[in-house]
Amino acid sequence: MPNLSGKVVVVTGGSTGIGYATVRLLARRGAKVYFTTRSEPKARKAHQTLASDSEVEPENVIWLVMDLFDLRSINAATDELKRRETKVDILINNAAASTSSTDLVEGRYEQHMAAKFLFGFDMIRYAVSKAAAILFTKELQRRLDDQDLPILCVAVHPAEQGAATPFFAAVAGEVRQKANVYKGRFLVPIGKVETPNAVAEDNRQIKGLWENTTQEVNKQLAEYKLPSLEAW
């Protein structure tokens, strides 16, 4: 795997579990890693543990406060990141709800859907929920390609290997060298391209997800008097 010195990475939900393991792998390769969580105790514990790792430079691991259940928090975190950095090289949307509750977020959205997909969409228009991630990754990649932007998007299934597949997708030279193989695709451990179900290949469903999500997020942004999503 390449040396990542000079690279800026953002990992959502990076204080525990797969997210934490991904942060550690990236930091060990020299990247400057911002990890998000809404919990200060979890953030402090994660940073202290990483700081004790002899392969990690503590100043290269930074907590970015963000609550994926709150659009205002996402907006504030994005502004803070823009203030600190002029670029982001790698974004890993890992955050998910760690509850079995079906409580609604903002009175509208079930927690798992909000954490894994909807509010992550507001930050970067990229989904990390299961089916939505596959559809949305394909549409995001199509729109980026239409604008000739050199950004590569993949959806991943960590499975038992945890951080290995997200790490592979983020830094493996093979992914960039064989971009046409990996662009907008779904990866399973470790780095294998898998064809998803029929729904994820349906262009009508793919575009519908994008358009409907844009509409819903813009409604929430308007209620908070925040700027609407920019058109692609």
Instruction: Tell me the C-alpha distance between 68 and 141, whole Å.
Output: 23
**126 pLDDT band (50/70/90 cuts)?**
very low
- Euclidean distance between the first and the last CA atom of the chain, given in angstroms as a whole number: 33
> Does residue 17 sit within a domain?
yes
pLDDT of residue 101: 46
**102 pLDDT band (50/70/90 cuts)?**
very low
> Does residue 171 sit within a domain?
no
Looking at per-residue confidence, does 168 or 99 come out higher?
168
Could you report the per-residue pLDDT of 1-38, keeping only the tens digit for each?
799 999 999 999 999 999 999 999 999 999 999 999 99
pLDDT of residue 27: 98
Q: Taking 80 as the threshold, does the pLDDT of residue 221 lie above it?
A: yes
Looking at per-residue confidence, does 195 or 41 come out higher?
41
- Assess whether 56 and 128 both reside in one domain: no
Q: How many domains does the structure of the chain reveal? A: 2
Q: Taking 50 as the threshold, does the pLDDT of residue 100 lie above it?
A: no
Q: Taking 70 as the threshold, does the pLDDT of residue 165 lie above it?
A: yes
- Assess whether 111 and 88 both reside in one domain: no
- Assess whether 68 and 142 both reside in one domain: no
Percent with pLDDT over 70 in the chain: 84
**113 pLDDT band (50/70/90 cuts)?**
very low
| Token pair 């990649």 in the structure block, residue | 141
> Does residue 232 sit within a domain?
no
Could you report the per-residue pLDDT of 77-87, keeping only the tens digit for each?
999 999 999 99
pLDDT of residue 129: 57
Lowest mean pLDDT, pick from 101-105, 160-164, 182-186, 212-216: 101-105
Is the CA virtual torsion 30, 37, 21, 105 positive or negative?
Answer: negative
> Does residue 181 sit within a domain?
no
Lowest mean pLDDT, pick from 5-9, 41-45, 194-198: 194-198
The CA-atom distances, in angstroms, between 116 and each of 122, 127, 140 are: 12, 7, 16
- Assess whether 60 and 87 both reside in one domain: yes
- Assess whether 82 and 135 both reside in one domain: no
- Assess whether 43 and 117 both reside in one domain: no
Q: Taking 80 as the threshold, does the pLDDT of residue 123 lie above it?
A: no
Find all residues with CB under 8 Å of 151, minimum gap 6, and list them: 144
Q: Taking 80 as the threshold, does the pLDDT of residue 171 lie above it?
A: yes
pTM of the model: 0.84
**128 pLDDT band (50/70/90 cuts)?**
very low
CATH of the domain at 78: 3.40.50.720
How are beta strands 61-65 and 192-194 bridged, if at all? unpaired
Structure tokens at 179: 């971009």
User: Which range of residues forms the domain containing residue 133?
Assistant: 99-150+195-226
- Mean pLDDT for 194-205 is 86
Instruction: Tell me the C-alpha distance between 19 and 68, whole Å.
Output: 14
- Assess whether 111 and 71 both reside in one domain: no
> Does residue 165 sit within a domain?
no
